[in-house]
Structure 1
Amino acid sequence: MPTTPRLSTHVPQRLPARARALVERVDHALEKAEATTAGRVRRRALEMDLVHQAMVLAALAMMLLIPALITLSALVPLGDSHGVATTVTRRLGLSAQAAHDVQLLFGGPGVKRTSTSYIGALVTLVSAYTWPAALQKGYEIAWQLPGRGVRDLWRPLVWLATMLGAATLVVVLGGSSEHGVSRVWLLPLGLTPVVFAWAWWTQHLLLGGRVGWRPLLTGAATITVGLYGLRAFAAVSLSDSITYNFDRYGPIGIVFMLLSWFIGFSVVMLGGAVVGQEWWSARQRRLEARRAARADQADQRP
């Protein structure tokens, strides 16, 4: 297991003893930090190359899910004022101008439907299966579980179908153009239990039930907090960034910003699982240490 490099090994011996002692204290503090759950989470994130995994997931999302939505814009009104694009961007906390700019990616209600559009929609939706499949692989790495091949192929498909169903529900329930406080913040906060349950269920489903519900609890909570953090980021700075990039680069500028958001989303989804696994492992180690201590005490009794 990789450890934090010791600073004292790089300190010249000619330095005063007081300076070397200070470096030793820093090394000791770093070692103590590495022994904590946060330190182990950092090591696990480095071991599984979390940022790289998140970038792969984000690239898959851009290459598959966004083209799927663009194809579907010929089938359903994704680009109008009450369509999927506008409704979802409102749920993300984007401003009206930023939501309008994103809306332009998906065309307007005048997009023609053709048989090619239906075939393209089917192909892109089938291709989008690889996104939850990659997320499933990331969860297996986080929990150090082997893949089960064909036996679990249906699980990413169920997850994808559920996500599409949820997107449809968002459109049905969220077609209003209101932008009041209740619409922008109170409604999403009221849905926190739903988001938490979804994050909990996502891990359990994609891991094939090999990890119990209780060990996945912390990961679900971490994912929920991270997702609301992303939403707060979108409300604070993403809108201005989208508008700026659209004015400067056109629609491709929006793609750059969406890619950044997808990377953040993927880090939250994978990082939450890593935090949950390490927290559960630390808890199990503490319980085992207590049992061992009680067993030693029992053996020492006359």
Structure 2
Amino acid sequence: MMSERLHRVQTWLRTRWLGRIVVNGLDSFLRLDMFDRSMTIAAQFFTSVFPILILLATWAASRDTHEIADAMGIPDETRSVLEDAIQGSGSASFGAVGVVIVLASATSLSRALIRAYMAIWAAPKPKSGLGSAWRWLAAVLVLTLALVAVRAASEPFDIHPLREALPLIATVTLNLAVALFVPWVLLAGEVRPRMLAPGAVLFALLMLTVRPATAAWLPNALEVSADRYGPIGVAFTYLACLYTASLCFLATAVLGQVIATDEGTFGQWIRRTRATKTEDGIAHSA
């Protein structure tokens, strides 16, 4: 009886646009193991992006680590770890070989994201090789720079009367651009930006609430973790924060795919394309 009632509710929901999006989105999210994929991407982000930030700080010859620590929200108890990492990594340490190793290791994040996007869009695997390596590197660098740029953009601008509005506009624009560019470049253009737009918009809007909540929670959580467990506690706290961001990133991508491929009027409008494209949004040669 319960299963029959649930089936009727599900059937009724699928006759409505919002119901279809929610039901199909939840089904896709669970079917594609996005919880596990989010943890993988969070761990890859931690081991890929932070070394690049240290590399950039070293290149800038920065010996005052306070600005970097403030940007990353590192508590006083563990700032010495960052100071040792930067001050012990002079330009001689980061030679050409060191830079190549750091950047090559960072592309593991791109490969994890490619696997996630391939599952979401049922897209063919992009060609891999030296000719495609720039795509992996571009995605990692964009994510790294966005981490700093979004924080900088959230600061109030000394412009009136848009002092409070400009940070909001800049943050939304940056998040939207990142959520559009990363899947497009990693899938080698197999999925058109028009198809990626719903997920990018959802991500930008969702981060308007998630980021302030994270900013309010993270400093105290880092302090507590540093007091109790030291640097390892800080690392796990960052991983929890990155897991939340990765979950939002992939969840909105899944919902965006469901919206773009929905059989309703809005989905048909999104899929409107030239004759050389198919209705699923995947590019094919004519």
TM-score range, shorter chain: 0.7 to 0.9
TM-score (norm. length: structure 1)? 0.70
C-alpha change, 1:215 and 1:74, in structure 2 (3 Å) is closer
C-alpha change, 1:28 and 1:38, in structure 2 (3 Å) is same
Tell me, in whole angstroms, the C-alpha distance in 2 between the residues paired with 1:110 and 1:56. 27
For structure 2, the residue ranges without an aligned partner over 5 or more in a row are 269-286
Give the residue type in structure 2 aligned to 1:128: A
| Match of residue 271 from structure 2 | none
| Match of residue 92 from structure 2 | 115
- 1:1-302 equivalence runs, <5 A: 7-8=2-3, 24-33=4-13, 36-70=20-54, 75=59, 76-77=61-62, 80-83=65-68, 85-89=69-73, 100=76, 103-107=79-83, 111-112=87-88, 113=90, 115-118=92-95, 119-150=97-128, 152-166=132-146, 188-191=167-170, 192-283=172-263
> C-alpha displacement at 1:41, in angstroms?
0.5
Identity of aligned residues (%): 23
Tell me, in whole angstroms, the C-alpha distance in 1 between the residues paired with 2:183 and 2:166. 25
Is the 1:62–1:259 Cα contact (8 Å) retained in structure 2? yes
Give the residue type in structure 2 aligned to 1:134: A
C-alpha change, 1:25 and 1:7, in structure 2 (3 Å) is closer
Q: Which moved more, 1:99-108 or 1:249-258?
A: 99-108
Cα deviation 1:69-99 (Å, max 9, x = unaligned): 456665543762223x42354xxxxxxxx55
Cα deviation 1:225-255 (Å, max 9, x = unaligned): 2333331221232222111111111111111
Cα deviation 1:168-195 (Å, max 9, x = unaligned): 7679x78x9x9xxx9x975541312232
C-alpha change, 1:121 and 1:78, in structure 2 (3 Å) is farther
For structure 1, the residue ranges without an aligned partner over 5 or more in a row are 1-5, 9-23, 90-97, 289-302
Q: Which moved more, 1:195-204 or 1:64-73?
A: 64-73
TM-score (norm. length: structure 2)? 0.73
Tell me, in whole angstroms, the C-alpha distance in 2 between the residues paired with 1:7 and 1:239. 46
- Give the CA RMSD over aligned residues: 3.5
The 3-state SS of whatever aligns with 2:67 is coil
C-alpha change, 1:79 and 1:193, in structure 2 (3 Å) is same
Tell me, in whole angstroms, the C-alpha distance in 2 between the residues paired with 1:30 and 1:225. 27
Tell me, in whole angstroms, the C-alpha distance in 1 between the residues paired with 2:212 and 2:141. 27
C-alpha change, 1:145 and 1:78, in structure 2 (3 Å) is farther
Give the residue type in structure 2 aligned to 1:147: K
Q: Which moved more, 1:255-264 or 1:33-42?
A: 33-42
The 3-state SS of whatever aligns with 1:82 is helix
